[in-house]
Amino acid sequence: MDISSFDDLLNAARQQAQPQRLLFVFANADLPEDSTPAQRERFLAGEGGALVPVMCVDKTPQELLSFADLVEESREFGQDWTIVFAAALSGSAGQAPSSESAEKPLQRMVESIKAGSLGTFIPFDRQGQPVMLA
């Protein structure tokens, strides 16, 4: 299935054979202290930098009606963010994974993002549109 918006992700998760729990890690771009002048220039132009996770949450697809719901909930935590990474955790026997069982996968997701290993996550911008990261 082609995911061209956050709503597509919600719809895909709702259509899976087993209930899903969605994992979200919100991040900002930051400029490392040891950056070069060229890296600083790119960063000031809106490119480059290191992704720094600032908060995370897990939700079932039924707990979110839209991307606006996720953005509104993120505001309650008072953390600014520029990108949110999404992943899904599949349930079994007709039950979605519990929030408790999502804790370790969510922490692994945070650590992967810190390490720059982003291949299995779908990044979305603040408008809910998928982002291609280079």
Read off the pLDDT of residues 48-91 as tens digits, 9 standing for 90 and up. 778 899 999 999 999 999 999 999 999 998 888 999 999 999 99
Residue 134 pLDDT class (50, 70, 90 cuts): low
- Average pLDDT, rounded, for the chain: 90
**Average pLDDT for 7-34:** 92
Give the sign of the dihedral formed by CA 27, CA 20, CA 108, CA 104.
positive
Backbone torsions φ then ψ of 38, nearest 5 degrees: -65, -40
C-alpha span between 21 and 41 (Å, rounded): 39
- Residue 64, in any domain of the structure: yes
Q: What is the reported pLDDT for 42?
A: 81
- Tell me how many domains the chain contains: 1
- Residue 133, in any domain of the structure: no
- Residue 130, in any domain of the structure: no
Range of the domain at 104: 6-124
Q: What is the reported pLDDT for 37?
A: 85
